[in-house]
Structure 1
């Protein structure tokens, strides 16, 4: 506090006034608000009216400034002034705080599919200015030319390190064409299991695919992609692609094994086996017209919602199907059947473009029941952790369910039989395909329980051959520990005949097959003991995670664990690539239909792989 207050005191009646101790004069403190009060008027009063007191005041002030406390206070005041001036200055572009904010803006643009023009939007700029007044919003050009490549390099380096540590990698690929610009893109996604059997996924490419999509052009693109990441063909386990001939031929020409997408194969089986039936197709055509009526008429939908409320039904919209997705047709029929009462009430008071007859309703209800197992299987294989091991059990369970007869089949027997034949034809040979068979054997939920009796021995031999190949390159097998846990080598193979046929869900078929095949053939030999011990144990529940099983069991079965780390990397669908293109359609949309393909690929790469950096930071 200033020493001038040795000569004044605040007026008890008005804080804006100070009273001189000598002459009792009232002196204004310099303002009407406390924040504006000062001591200049008080010092001037002393200098003009009380010379002696003023000299003492000057002397006391100088002594206070020379004291340690006074010097400290002066330094603090100088620092406060400096900080105050600094807070009014804008950050330079290379300031760490400015660079950090720029990175977060790029992350926001990539993760939330925002256009670069967001930096020109009034609301966004005001928000950032409020949070950090010293930050200067960068231009769109600076973001695309500087900030985006910088973040891409950081994420790329992280993914590159993870890829380099992988011992076996599986891939998915697909081609997508934009509906808002003349752009086609070729995808490449990777997934692998680390040493702890944690599933890792990464998007490596979503690059522009120019020109004709021939097998030769795609194979050349594959070669460039794998060279970019320095991925040798030796660690490529499999490439999962759709059923198009050009991609299948491209993988063959590039020299890597490939498998068709199970979801695409199911699509072909359902379309050819059921939805193409005349009576079903007619009912679907009528259903589409009804759904289209409500989709294109807000008034009709408003009336329909009112009826749903009157009937105390959940307010739901009818689902529109997409011709390339059979399950969307299933959901459309399901929504129509669920809203049968509401639709009947609507038709009584309002016009519809067509009428759903009793025959149409009956067919759709039966087709929904018929296709329900396909929908269940499609959802299961589309999960993030579905692998090639799910194909054989899924197909075997599905065909068994379709082979059973039930009273609800009346009216769709032909469609059901055609579906069964289509599934058998489309998935013919899956039990003898090593990539499927070995993956199924090393999945502790399935093992050898889902193979036909005449295919089971061949599947075991395939597994033994792969285990032997891994052992030949120096793997420590720990045969004694594995042999100690093996069963009696002299036990004969037992095959339980199928139980009495019964109808049920797809999950019932899984459990039924496991129960029938709970005893396996013993084998001989050192490595065979390890395989026999593993196969002789009970399977883990269908809902359990095979990756966690191997994480905790790899010490007991080291050779099998290495096989599992390789074969369980393979997905059973190319869903990852299709989901990637869903993201691409948001990046290259109507607001950004002129974005450069290189920038689009960097944005997609960051969007899909940035969470990997977050996950690893959390571990550290």
Structure 2
């Protein structure tokens, strides 16, 4: 219908006449029947008598015409376009190469076997997403794509190392043997603090390690790995490894500063002080029997779930312990203790291979309380931001906590004393180790507050000796503050003592006792050290590297030292995580994968995300 009819209506008495809505004039429609009617006379009437309405009519007509000229949304593609969409990509096509690269990333990052490219489900998925792409063979990915991607990532790693070539590097290393193939691998991970005070962490090697694992063989392997990455041995700050004798001897033969993994040392201390105790060994043996019963019997586990539902508890499996990880034993006892009522109800109706007595339940509770600080420390030192600076403060707080009496000591007093003795024995040299001492002082969360009073002066001399070796950074203004118990140097505990002391309580207690003394200043570097130590430590939850990035202008020499010492880890956790990933690469599906390809996959998996 024409837009003109918005201004007219058909006469009720004669359909051949249109009536103007504005002036009620009667206008002929130009014919005697509906077939001959037109709108020309109506349009001319609007143009002559009603210009405004005529303008509105023209705009409406133009809009309709424009809409009719617009292209249809259901455009029919040409035959050539349809043919092009079904034509397979050429081998050198840019989009095809990009897809191939992403498939290789998928294999490396998600621990997929190369055979995944031959799986029907994966091929159907790729065919649906991009019909023009032809998936290369598994051999192409393993023999061509993998080396190319490894070389690409290795080049980026070389560039990253060259960018910070003047900084000292710290490393972790470990040896791993596969359970599914006769393969051993030696790892090397590097860690350093860059010029922006950001912690950098990369994997350099997880190479095959054939033959006997002697100190000489390990030392030679280190030399080759450092040569491969153009790392000057004089730039190696420290290498963290486990407590094995061959690894310790290899560090000495290579003239490298070796650090024993704190987590491994804690494992030995807990085993000597706790797990070797007869009463605790008995409850652990009983716990393993109970957990093993439910693990190997679906019927027993189904019955356990029913009992848990009766107590309105979510279904929960018991934790199986691993003898080489003391904290797994802790988690096993914790999981059993949390289900104490459930197990009591279960025993009333069903049989178990062994049960706990009421005294043993109390012993489990107190043992968990005794080991809880060790579990907290293990988590702390296993985190990605843990450093050598954490060792002395954590041990100071732990020893103080173990030396205090608590209500939860019932039944474990002897064990507690044995545990304290084991910790003192295994970490006897920690508070005298220069690397730990200097790192602790350079951590603004700790400074010298956790150093024994009689050793503070000696540690200060260690730091000053390191400062004197630094290349002068130029004159800088140093603000000196006399010591004393002022508002900035005295921390006041606001929390009341709880019934059972915690590890955090020990940190605060030590901090209160160790306010900085008045210091005598001589050189500019000594003034930096005095000014730095006179200030109150930052909260333990803060990042020490953020502090140094902010305050490097005030303490330039100390900041330079902090980059070296705060980069040293206190555990070999990075290497252990690497080999946890290796167990997924060399699994039952890929037990014939060569070590060379396994190393390349691990290298890409760990380092590629740094550059994405």
TM superposition score normalised by structure 2: 0.84
Question: Residues of 2 paired with 1:138 and 1:288: CA distance?
Answer: 49
Question: Residues of 2 paired with 1:271 and 1:83: CA distance?
Answer: 73
CA gap of 1:113–1:491, structure 2 versus 1, over 3 A, is closer
Aligned to 1:522: 519
Question: Residues of 2 paired with 1:107 and 1:383: CA distance?
Answer: 27
Aligned to 2:469: 469
* 1:190-230 per-position Cα deviation (integer Å, ceiling 9, x unaligned): 11111111111101100011011000011111111110000
1:410 is displaced (CA, Å) by 1.5
Question: Residues of 1 paired with 2:288 and 2:587: CA distance?
Answer: 27
5+ unaligned residues in a row in structure 1: which ranges?
1-76, 615-620
Aligned to 1:71: none
Contact 2:483 2:516 in 1 (8 A): no
Aligned to 1:36: none
Question: Residues of 2 paired with 1:195 and 1:359: CA distance?
Answer: 58
1:165 is displaced (CA, Å) by 2.3
* 1:79-122 per-position Cα deviation (integer Å, ceiling 9, x unaligned): 95554443322112222111111110110001100000000001
Contact 1:445 1:546 in 2 (8 A): yes
Q: 2:481 aligns with which of 487, 498, 521?
A: 487
1:386 is displaced (CA, Å) by 0.3
- Following superposition of structure 1 onto structure 2, how do residues 204-223 of structure 1 map, counting pairs within 5 Å? 204-223=204-223
After TM superposition, the structure 1 stretch with the greater mean CA deviation from structure 2, 132-141 or 91-100, is 91-100
Aligned to 2:144: 146
| Structure 2 residue 268 is the aligned partner of structure 1 residue 271 | no
* 1:317-352 per-position Cα deviation (integer Å, ceiling 9, x unaligned): 111100000000000011111100000110110000
- Following superposition of structure 1 onto structure 2, how do residues 77-226 of structure 1 map, counting pairs within 5 Å? 82-166=80-164, 167-226=167-226
Aligned to 1:548: 546
CA gap of 1:490–1:356, structure 2 versus 1, over 3 A, is closer
Aligned to 1:506: 503
1:363 is displaced (CA, Å) by 1.4
Contact 1:584 1:604 in 2 (8 A): yes
Aligned to 2:323: 323
- Following superposition of structure 1 onto structure 2, how do residues 251-290 of structure 1 map, counting pairs within 5 Å? 251-290=251-290
| Equivalent residue pairs, number | 530
1:175 is displaced (CA, Å) by 0.4
Aligned to 1:21: none
- Following superposition of structure 1 onto structure 2, how do residues 47-62 of structure 1 map, counting pairs within 5 Å? none
1:454 is displaced (CA, Å) by 0.6
After TM superposition, the structure 1 stretch with the greater mean CA deviation from structure 2, 522-531 or 177-186, is 522-531
| Structure 2 residue 584 is the aligned partner of structure 1 residue 586 | yes
CA gap of 1:542–1:495, structure 2 versus 1, over 3 A, is closer
Aligned to 2:424: 424
Determine helix, strand or coil for the equivalent of 1:363.
helix
Aligned to 1:66: none
Aligned to 1:451: 451
* 1:551-588 per-position Cα deviation (integer Å, ceiling 9, x unaligned): 11111100000000000000010000000000000000
CA gap of 1:386–1:91, structure 2 versus 1, over 3 A, is same
Question: Residues of 2 paired with 1:396 and 1:320: CA distance?
Answer: 32
Question: Residues of 1 paired with 2:392 and 2:472: CA distance?
Answer: 31
Contact 1:491 1:522 in 2 (8 A): no
1:176 is displaced (CA, Å) by 0.5
1:503 is displaced (CA, Å) by 4.4
CA gap of 1:546–1:522, structure 2 versus 1, over 3 A, is same
The CA RMSD over aligned residues, in Å, is 2.2
Determine helix, strand or coil for the equivalent of 2:353.
coil
* 1:430-484 per-position Cα deviation (integer Å, ceiling 9, x unaligned): 12111101110010000000011111111111111111111xx242351xx21xx
CA gap of 1:477–1:586, structure 2 versus 1, over 3 A, is farther
CA gap of 1:154–1:186, structure 2 versus 1, over 3 A, is same
Contact 2:294 2:301 in 1 (8 A): yes
Contact 1:477 1:557 in 2 (8 A): no
Question: Residues of 2 paired with 1:374 and 1:602: CA distance?
Answer: 36
Aligned to 1:571: 569
Determine helix, strand or coil for the equivalent of 1:200.
strand
CA gap of 1:500–1:122, structure 2 versus 1, over 3 A, is closer
Determine helix, strand or coil for the equivalent of 2:611.
helix
Contact 1:477 1:559 in 2 (8 A): no
5+ unaligned residues in a row in structure 2: which ranges?
1-74
Contact 1:189 1:203 in 2 (8 A): yes
Question: Residues of 2 paired with 1:124 and 1:91: CA distance?
Answer: 19
Question: Residues of 2 paired with 1:293 and 1:501: CA distance?
Answer: 39
Aligned to 2:309: 309
Contact 1:495 1:516 in 2 (8 A): no
Aligned to 1:535: 533
TM superposition score normalised by structure 1: 0.83
Aligned to 1:346: 346
Question: Residues of 2 paired with 1:263 and 1:157: CA distance?
Answer: 33
Aligned to 2:557: 559
Contact 1:404 1:502 in 2 (8 A): no
Question: Residues of 1 paired with 2:110 and 2:273: CA distance?
Answer: 41
Question: Residues of 2 paired with 1:595 and 1:98: CA distance?
Answer: 27
Question: Residues of 2 paired with 1:327 and 1:515: CA distance?
Answer: 31
Contact 2:484 2:518 in 1 (8 A): no
Question: Residues of 2 paired with 1:459 and 1:176: CA distance?
Answer: 37
Aligned to 1:401: 401
Question: Residues of 1 paired with 2:252 and 2:91: CA distance?
Answer: 50
1:163 is displaced (CA, Å) by 1.3
